[in-house]
């Protein structure tokens, strides 16, 4: 007895429909249990116009179409169904050939003659044709057959016949069994006992492996991929926007395939001139963060690359959370990021048009006015129950909607809901409230809204834009949610929306991060759909350093000054030339700045200690160091405080002739004139805001705030040339990091924010961690590139697994190596010479470091080459194994086919024998003894295939 599933009347109707096309009860039940397969098969049956039933063979083919038809060519499915119903396509082999042809064709038009030729339509094969094919294969394999006799692989012989006549009727192919048997008997004679003996397997001789010799070949760098050069190459052109966007499955009607008709597309292209139009639609309820930088890069960048236009569209539909401050900030920050909107618009500009579309939606029977409360709507959605107002007449909903517009209905007492599908597997199809349409280029958490979005456009017969969902940009040690950011600001955990510790764009700009480095970072991580990764903060800092290293002039600041009195120098001031850039040409005066050098200088407290050691390069009693760009000094006396521990000042002598060559080099500042202290400045040192890499996952995320995320040094000393620095100017404080002038600066006292350190300071790493990070980075890039290549292949109608390119892996490894070098260098500096700057004269130390890094680089390059060689060898081995495996599968399939044909022949003989026996029994007036002993074998059920869910929408909160 067939069981009724939970689908109710609709499920019972579908079950009856499936039984009518010849599906057995078990297959029909399993199909009903899968809503997507049910919807798809129901649509196929209606398209084929066989709702009253059809032949069982045709029904099995229809089931295969419902589960395996290529999604990129759905517009051609009705054509194929006509061929199936008319029995022009009548075998699984023809159907598979049709799938392959249509998958390659996609949505493009094709010639019927080409289609019929590819599917074998009209090809008839006779028994004589089969006999000729058998003779050909026996002639070709005669020597093997004579050697193997009755151990010959019969399946291989049948495979030849099947390939020779792929469209032959299976009943005719059965005849080849008897033909092959007769042919074998005529050549080999009667079967002997030796033919039944198992063959003795020959042991394979073990080959002696040649001695492995590693040959290192230096390969030239490969050209970057198209995606690396242009990350927007993955997006199609407007001319290609005729393909199916998504499939929308319903519980009570056929599948909706969302795509633009030829007329709608041509009308759109005429209006837009074929240009790409995108929009950046922030909601003005807070400040933009670095995640919006990615959205801007995609929206504005795509339009710019294609010569199109990008709107800045304010989503002003929530006035309670919106402020003019946010609107002004958004417009300003978009310009700072280097983007220029084609036009600035507001959702409210289109309220009248949206109202007219809502009226059209009601008139078409796709919307209704509902009086349920929010709690009732939630409860009914959870239970998948229709609203009691869902069936109200169209005219009644039109009148009520007009009353809503004129304010005659109390706010909150009525809503306009779309009549979608409350039984859908997608909760975003549960009769959503019709109040707005979201963005086109959007993040993945809105992917499930794609069905609702396209449903609405289809219901109104509007142009359907191309939707692309990409992964949100998540960065370690911070939060990106506007709600959490708003709480940090309003509860005074940070100093406003532009606090330099935040990942808001205003905060990054105030910290000193440039827009170009942010865009370079976004381009570097790519436009990927992988939503399970979080980007390390040091990847952003890498791009920041890359730019500042080329653009920020060098200068010197002492954070914790220690006074040094030069006892052998007169009370005078010498102007020292200091380089703004490491490679400044000697004849370029603009590349130098003046530093006063007097008898009183200041160094870092941490650059002096009372006891010297072998691995220490700072100043100590009796020891010499070089003051950067100036002279060597030697400590001669230390003045201690009353506690005999606190160091008050140091006395030293300088070497005006520079005869001594100390290893240690220190940064310093000096009195600009005798008795006048150096320029005093405030320096703010920023660190990660949260201790955990992903604080958003913590229940008490505020408890994870880093108390040391901000350190203010109010009495640092700087060289006098900094007194004219303006807000926003960036510098490299030698040995300390990159800094920018903050807006809190006053004429009498400048304030500097540390942008990034000179090296990564987020923690020491060991070799195992280095290898782990290389693997993780390579895997992330592999997954991203694999996904994008697969999309590119799908866009051009291709299929199959994408292959990695060597230059992409190489580039990823090189970037990781750069990061690791930075951390290793920082770790070594911290452990061995934390108070020391390498001097220009100290060529031995510098050369030793360069040599060590070069050796590490060469070692890793060799390992990469070996990995490439192993990978190539493994790939070749895999291909060989794959081919062998495919051959074995083919042989097995052929053998199974042969056995199947033999079984069918035996079944037919059985039926004939039964009829003969029954005839004899009837002649003798006796009962048939075998009636209850024979059972028909159950027919093989078509394989069920999961129909993929459609894609969907955005949040910028």
* Active site positions, annotated: 283, 472, 482
Best CA proximity match to 75, nearest among 257, 315, 283: 257
Reading the block at residue 613, the tokens are 């050691």
What span, in angstroms and rounded, lies between the C-alpha atoms of 666 and 618? 7
Contact 568, 654 (CB under 8 A): yes
Q: How many CB atoms lie within 10 A of CB 648?
A: 11
Give the HSE-up count for residue 930: Cα atoms under 13 Å, Cβ half-sphere. 13
- DSSP H helices, 250-393, are 262-272, 290-305, 324-336, 351-363, 374-383
| Dihedral-angle region of residue 282 (phi above 0 means left; psi in -120 to 50 means alpha; beta otherwise) | beta
902 Cβ contact partners less than 8 Å away, ≥ 6 residues apart: 177
| H helical segments located in 482-536 | 482-490, 505-511, 515-525
Give CA–CA dist 200/866, Å, rounded: 41
3-state secondary structure at position 762 = coil
Return the closest-CA partner of residue 180 out of 146, 199, 155. Answer: 155
- Residue 73: exposure state from Cβ atoms within 10 A (0-12, 13-18, ≥19): buried
Strands 415-418 and 367-370: antiparallel
Dist. CA 400–CA 406, nearest whole Å: 10
Cα of first residue to Cα of last residue in the chain, in angstroms, is 53
> Under a CB-based contact definition with an 8 Å cutoff, are residues 881 and 889 in contact?
no
Is residue 699 packed enough to be buried (19+ CB in 10 Å), middle (13-18) or exposed (0-12)? exposed
Q: Do residues 568 and 635 touch, judged by C-beta distance below 8 A?
A: no
Q: For 250, phi and psi rounded to 5 degrees?
A: -120, 155
List residues bridging with 741 in a β-sheet. 752
Q: CA 249, CA 34: separation in Å to the nearest integer?
A: 11
Vertex 905: Cα angle to 900 and 908 (nearest 5): 125
Q: Count CB-CB contacts under 10 A for residue 6.
A: 8
* Distance in angstroms (rounded) separating the CA atoms of residues 618 and 520: 38
Scored b (16 or more CB within 10 A) or e, 574-608 reads eebebbbbeebeeeeeeebbebbbbbbbbbbeebb
d(CA 162, CA 751): 83
Query: CB under 8 Å to 380, separation ≥6 — which residues?
Result: 372, 386, 387, 422
Rounded Cα distance between 713 and 67, Å, is 68
The rounded Cα 689 to chain-centroid distance in angstroms is: 26
For residues 193-202, one letter each, b for 16 or more C-beta atoms within 10 angstroms of the residue's C-beta and e for the rest, the string is eeeeeeeeee
Q: Are 517 and 547 in contact, with CB atoms under 8 Å apart?
A: yes
The span from the CA of 607 to the CA of 531, in Å, is 46
CA distance 750 to 766: 39
Residues in the chain: 957
What's the CA gap between 43 and 45, in Å, rounded? Answer: 6
Q: Which two tokens stand for residue 129?
A: 């044709």
Facing residues of 576 across strands? 595
């Amino acid at each position: 007895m067939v069981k009724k599933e939970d689908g109710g009347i609709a499920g019972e109707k579908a079950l009856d429909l499936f039984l009518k096309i010849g599906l057995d009860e078990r297959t029909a039940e399993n199909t009903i249990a899968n809503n997507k397969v049910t919807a798809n098969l129901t649509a196929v049956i209606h398209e084929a116009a066989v709702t009253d039933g059809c032949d069982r063979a045709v029904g099995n083919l229809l089931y295969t179409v419902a589960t395996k038809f290529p999604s990129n060519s759905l517009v051609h499915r009705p054509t194929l169904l006509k061929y199936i119903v008319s029995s022009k396509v009548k075998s699984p082999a023809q159907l598979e050939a049709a799938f392959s042809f249509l998958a390659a064709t996609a949505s493009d038009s094709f010639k019927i003659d080409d289609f019929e030729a590819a599917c074998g339509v009209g090809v008839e094969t006779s028994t004589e044709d089969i006999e000729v094919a058998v003779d050909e294969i026996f002639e070709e394999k005669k020597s093997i057959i004579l050697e193997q006799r009755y151990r010959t692989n019969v399946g291989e012989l049948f495979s030849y016949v099947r390939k020779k006549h792929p469209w032959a009727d299976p009943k005719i192919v059965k005849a080849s069994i008897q033909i092959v048997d007769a042919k074998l008997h005529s050549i080999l004679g009667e079967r002997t006992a030796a033919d039944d003996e198992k063959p003795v397997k020959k042991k394979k001789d073990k080959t002696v492996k040649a001695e492995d010799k590693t040959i290192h070949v230096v390969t030239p760098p490969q050209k970057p991929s198209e995606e690396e050069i242009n990350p927007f190459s993955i997006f199609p052109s407007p001319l290609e926007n005729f393909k199916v966007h998504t499939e929308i499955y319903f519980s009570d009607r056929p599948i909706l395939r969302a795509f633009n008709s030829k007329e709608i597309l041509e009308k759109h292209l005429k209006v837009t001139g074929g240009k790409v139009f995108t929009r950046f639609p922030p909601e003005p309820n807070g400040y933009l963060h670095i995640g919006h930088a990615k959205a801007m890069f995609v929206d504005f960048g795509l339009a710019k690359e294609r010569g199109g236009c990008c709107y800045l569209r304010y989503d002003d539909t929530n006035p309670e959370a919106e402020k003019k401050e946010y609107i002004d900030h958004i417009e300003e920050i978009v310009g700072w990021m280097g983007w220029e909107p084609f036009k600035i618009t507001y959702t409210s500009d289109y309220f009248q048009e949206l109202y007219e579309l809502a009226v059209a939606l009601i008139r078409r029977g796709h919307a209704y006015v509902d009086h349920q409360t929010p709690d009732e709507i939630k409860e009914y959605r959870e239970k998948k129950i229709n609203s009691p107002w869902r069936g109200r007449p169209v005219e009644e909903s039109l009148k009520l909607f007009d009353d809503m517009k004129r304010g005659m209905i109390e706010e909150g007492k009525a809503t306009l809901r779309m009549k979608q599908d409350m039984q859908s597997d997608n909760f975003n199809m549960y009769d959503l409230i019709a109040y707005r349409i979201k963005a086109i280029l959007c993040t993945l958490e809105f992917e499930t809204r794609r069905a609702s979005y396209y449903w609405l456009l289809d219901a109104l017969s509007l142009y359907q834009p191309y939707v692309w969902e990409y992964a949100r940009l998540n960065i370690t040690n911070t939060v990106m949610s506007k709600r959490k950011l708003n709480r940090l600001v309003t509860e005074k955990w940070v100093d406003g929306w532009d606090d330099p510790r935040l990942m808001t764009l205003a905060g990054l700009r105030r910290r000193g991060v440039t827009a170009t480095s942010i865009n370079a970072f976004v381009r570097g991580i790519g436009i990927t759909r992988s939503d399970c990764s979080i980007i390390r903060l040091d990847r952003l800092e890498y791009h920041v350093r890359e730019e500042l290293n080329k653009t920020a002039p060098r200068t010197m600041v002492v954070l914790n000054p220690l006074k040094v009195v030069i006892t052998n120098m007169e009370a005078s001031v010498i102007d020292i030339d200091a380089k703004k850039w490491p490679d400044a040409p000697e004849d370029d005066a603009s590349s130098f700045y003046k530093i006063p050098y007097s008898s009183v200088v200041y160094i870092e407290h941490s650059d002096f200690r009372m006891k010297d050691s072998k691995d220490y390069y700072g100043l100590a009693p009796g020891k010499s160091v070089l003051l950067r760009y100036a002279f060597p000094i030697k400590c001669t006396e230390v003045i201690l405080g009353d506690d005999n521990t606190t160091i008050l000042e140091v006395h030293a002598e300088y070497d005006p002739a520079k005869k001594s060559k100390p290893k240690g080099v220190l940064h310093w500042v000096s009195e600009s004139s005798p008795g006048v202290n150096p320029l005093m400045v405030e320096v703010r040192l920023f660190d990660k805001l949260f201790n955990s890499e992903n604080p958003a996952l913590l229940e008490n995320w505020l408890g994870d705030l880093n108390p040391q995320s901000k350190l203010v040094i109010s009495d640092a000393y700087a060289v006098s040339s900094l007194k004219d620095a303006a807000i926003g100017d960036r510098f490299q404080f030698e040995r300390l990091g990159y800094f920018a002038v903050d807006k809190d600066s006053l004429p009498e006292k400048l304030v500097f924010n540390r942008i990034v350190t000179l090296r990564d300071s987020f923690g020491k790493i060991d070799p195992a961690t280095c290898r782990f990070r290389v693997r993780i980075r390579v895997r992330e890039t592999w997954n991203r590139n694999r996904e994008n290549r697969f999309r590119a292949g799908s866009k051009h109608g291709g299929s199959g697994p994408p292959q990695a390119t060597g230059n992409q892996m190489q580039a990823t490894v090189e970037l990781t190596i750069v990061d690791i070098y930075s951390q290793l260098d920082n770790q070594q500096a911290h452990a061995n010479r934390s108070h020391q700057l390498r001097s220009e004269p100290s060529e031995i130390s510098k050369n030793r470091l360069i040599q060590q890094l070069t050796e590490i680089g060469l070692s890793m390059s060799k390992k990469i080459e070996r990995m490439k060689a192993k990978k190539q060898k493994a790939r070749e081995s895999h291909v060989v194994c794959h081919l062998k495996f495919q051959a074995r599968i083919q042989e097995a399939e052929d053998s199974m086919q042969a056995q199947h044909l033999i079984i069918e022949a035996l079944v037919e003989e059985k039926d004939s024998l039964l009829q003969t026996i029954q005839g004899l029994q009837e002649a003798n007036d006796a009962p048939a003894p075998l009636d209850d002993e024979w059972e028909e074998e159950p027919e093989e059920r078509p394989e069920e295939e999961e129909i993929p869910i459609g894609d969907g929408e955005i949040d910028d909160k």
